[in-house]
Amino acid sequence: MPTAITHDPVFTTPVSSTNTAVVRWSGTAGSVLQNSGVLIDGSNNITGIGTIASGAITSSGAIIGTQVDILAAGDLRLQDSTGGQYVALEAAGTTTTHTITLPATQGAASTFLQNNGSGALTWAAAGGAVTRVGGQTTEATTTSTGDTDLLTIGSLTIPGATPIHYIADFRKSSGAATDARGGLKLNSTKIGGRTLWDTDGTNEDQTGVAHGIMGGRVTNYLAGMSGGVQTVYKTDVTRRSSEVAPNANDSNPSPTADVTSWIVVGSVGSASTTLGIDEVHVYTMGVS
């Protein structure tokens, strides 16, 4: 039951009031009212709350803000679905102020978060690992004597410092005593002034495979795709040629930016022959 009022209460109110301010008692006499710095607007939004001295804040909805400060090396605790166990994040007690920025996208399987030294995290393959990051296995053909985009691998995220290995299978039809050539575009820009591989110029059906390694692209150096090798066979499996393929970057350097797309281009010496790129695979190599 409420306490009975046995006298006429007298309240002292502020001379003026702040719109939407929460009223509070001043002193312990229970007779003086004053404005507080806490405001509740018409939509029930609360502003002006300072430090909450003790106790937990519980909410069944989202708590939205632009910054959360956890003092004295306290934990940020992410609880499990039952609320019994949690994963805690904690800053070192003597840490200097710095910011860690998470990647904008989800990483591939078996990748890890790699720091660039300035707090920006990216997904990277584990050191020493070779990981297939993309490929195409549907053949594309051309009879064009000019460079034509054939197979495209998109949605890549290969950091500039990560070495790359590629493998491509190709074929050339008979029709003229001429060769067929293949090249690469990284991020839609063709690299190199020469072809990555070419077939023998004999008028016959041929098939072959080409592969090469591109080192970490930490600067726009020219000799970026060294070690390219091609092997060309006749259809009776007789080896026609096997040689080190031309350097991919003898004039146009490879980009230092992240590689987001990988395009195989091709052309033929005569429109009476056909070049087919059967499949291509791209791998990254971990740096330990």
| 11-53 confidence digits (pLDDT tens) | 777 777 778 778 777 777 777 777 777 888 888 788 877 777 7
Q: How far apart are CA 76 and CA 101, in angstroms?
A: 17
Amino acid at 214: M
- Give the list of residues 6+ apart from residue 237 with CB closer than 8 angstroms, or none: none
Q: What is the structure's pLDDT at 52?
A: 72
130-285: which CATH number, 1.10.3470, 1.20.1250, 3.40.1130, 2.60.120?
A: 2.60.120
**Tens digits of residue pLDDT in 102-126:** 998 998 887 888 888 888 999 887 6
Q: What is the structure's pLDDT at 232?
A: 56
221, pLDDT greater than 60:
no
Q: How far apart are CA 175 and CA 160, in angstroms?
A: 41
Output DSSP code: residue 120.
B
What CA–CA distances, in Å, run from 251 to 10, 26, 45, 147, 243?
Answer: 92, 80, 62, 17, 21
Q: What is the structure's pLDDT at 249?
A: 43
Q: How many residues does the chain have?
A: 288
For the chain, residues classed under CATH 2.60.120 are 130-285
Asked if residue 127 lies in contact with residue 148, where contact means CB atoms within 8 angstroms, the answer is no
Q: Is 155 exposed, middle or buried (0-12, 13-18, 19+ CB in 10 A)?
A: exposed
- pLDDT mean over 244-260: 62
H helices present in 170-258, as ranges? none
Distance between start and end Cα atoms, the chain: 75
**Nearest one of 264, 201, 181, 191 to 221, comparing CA atoms:** 191
- pLDDT mean over 162-167: 87
The better pLDDT of the pair 10, 190 is held by 190
Q: Which two tokens stand for residue 7?
A: 């006298």
Tokens 């990216």 -> residue:
122
pLDDT-derived band at 187 (thresholds 50, 70, 90) equals: confident
Judged by DSSP in three states, 148 sits in: strand
281, pLDDT greater than 70:
yes
Q: How far apart are CA 172 and CA 206, in angstroms?
A: 5
Looking at 104-218, which runs of residues are DSSP E strands?
111-115, 121-125, 130-136, 140-142, 148-153, 164-172, 180-186, 189-190, 197-198, 206-214
Q: Please report, rounded to a whole number, the percentage of residues in the chain having pLDDT higher than 90.
A: 14
- pLDDT mean over 220-249: 51
Q: What is the structure's pLDDT at 194?
A: 45
